[in-house]
């Protein structure tokens, strides 16, 4: 199966997952389960580059015989609008593996679901301590990951890492007090970050700030 290739980048703090890129299978797809991108490990497991994987779906890869079940799981996850934890077998170029997979809907700037964000790790290769660490990291998947078109990434790059994190939560309706609790700092600090973002991007209000980026 082929389709037009459409590239996206992630808002912070979703990018935090990529620091585990050597240990996690990281995948993002559109609502039809077509690959929009993947982490480095999937390249190793499939023998393909990420640019070759974009536009394919599971039926085109080495685990094609399980593609229908994967798609069924994703359809159920999208319909429920919740993160799903699934224990599933998979094939790689090195043989069979057993995965623990988390799949969650991705939303676009309109708030509508535009895709699937997926993180998997091989159970046999990871001690429970690492598993717990990754599951704890999944806390940032609430609210759902947000896609930002690459055309807007130059705007995001003007913001510091902390400002990007503030923007992520702000764009999902969090107040300064709620963001402060999530990031472990004071509401006054968050207000300062928001003011800095508005100044950098020449915005007068928070709603204008959000609409300018997403």
- On the question of pLDDT at 136 being above 60, the answer is no
Give me the residue label for tokens 């992520």: 168
pLDDT digits (tens, 9 = 90+) for 151-174: 455 666 788 878 877 887 787 778
Provide the pLDDT for residue 79: 87
Whether residue 110 is preceded by a cis peptide bond, meaning omega within 30 degrees of 0, is no
Q: Is residue 103 part of a domain?
A: yes
3-state helix, strand, coil in the chain (%, to 5): 50, 25, 30
Q: Are residues 45 and 70 in the same domain?
A: yes
State residue 137's pLDDT score: 52
Whether residue 15 lies inside any domain: the answer is: yes
Cα–Cα distance, 113 to 122 (Å, whole number) = 28
Q: Indicate whether 2 belongs to any domain.
A: no
> Which residues on neighbouring strands pair with residue 25, listed in sequence order?
120
Residues 66 and 135 in one domain: yes
Residue pair 43/53 in contact (Cβ under 8 Å)? The answer is yes
Task: Enter the pTM of the model.
Answer: 0.54
Looking at the structure of the chain, the number of domains it has is: 2
Q: Are 144 and 167 within one domain?
A: no
Q: Specify the pLDDT at position 48.
A: 86
**Residue 191's domain is classified under what CATH number?**
1.10.10.10
Give me the residue label for tokens 């790790």: 121
**pLDDT tens-digit series, residues 41-75:** 777 778 888 888 989 999 998 888 889 989 998 99
Same domain, 38 and 132: yes
User: Domain boundary at 150, 167, 197, which?
Assistant: 150
The domain that holds 41 is classified in CATH as: 3.30.450.20
> Do residues 117 and 185 share a domain?
no
Do residues 90 and 63 make contact, with C-beta atoms less than 8 angstroms apart? yes
Question: Of the residues 122, 150, 178, which one is the last residue of a structural domain?
Answer: 150
Question: CA-CA distances (angstroms) from residue 180 to 16, 157, 186?
Answer: 18, 22, 5
Domain of 182, in residue numbers: 158-213
Q: Are residues 58 and 162 part of one domain?
A: no
Same domain, 140 and 199: no
Q: Assess if residue 1 is contained within a domain.
A: no
Same domain, 97 and 198: no
The more confidently predicted of residues 101 and 18 is 101
Based on the domain organization, do 96 and 173 belong to the same domain?
no
* Total number of residues shown for the chain: 214
The three-state secondary structure class of 78 is helix
CA angle 172, 5, 153 (to 5 degrees): 40
Show which of 97, 121, 150 is a domain's final residue.
150
């Amino acid at each position: 199966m082929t389709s037009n290739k459409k590239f996206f980048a992630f808002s912070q703090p979703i990018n935090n997952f990529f620091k585990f890129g050597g240990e996690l299978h990281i995948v993002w797809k559109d609502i039809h389960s077509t690959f929009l991108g993947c982490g480095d490990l999937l390249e190793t497991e499939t023998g393909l580059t990420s640019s070759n994987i974009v536009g394919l779906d599971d039926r085109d890869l080495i685990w094609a015989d399980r593609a229908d079940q994967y798609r069924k799981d994703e359809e159920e996850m999208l319909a429920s609008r919740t993160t799903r934890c699934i224990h599933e077998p998979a094939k790689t170029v090195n043989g069979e593996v057993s995965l623990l997979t988390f799949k969650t809907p991705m939303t676009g700037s309109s708030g509508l679901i535009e895709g699937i964000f997926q993180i998997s790790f091989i159970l046999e290769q990871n001690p429970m301590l690492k598993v717990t660490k990754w599951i704890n990291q999944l806390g940032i998947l609430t609210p759902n990951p947000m896609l930002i078109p690459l055309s807007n990434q130059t705007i995001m790059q003007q913001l510091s890492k902390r400002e990007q994190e503030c923007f992520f939560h702000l764009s999902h309706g969090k107040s300064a007090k709620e963001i402060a609790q999530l990031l472990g700092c004071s509401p006054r600090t968050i207000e300062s970050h928001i003011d800095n973002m508005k100044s950098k991007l020449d915005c007068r209000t928070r709603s204008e700030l959000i609409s300018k980026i997403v």
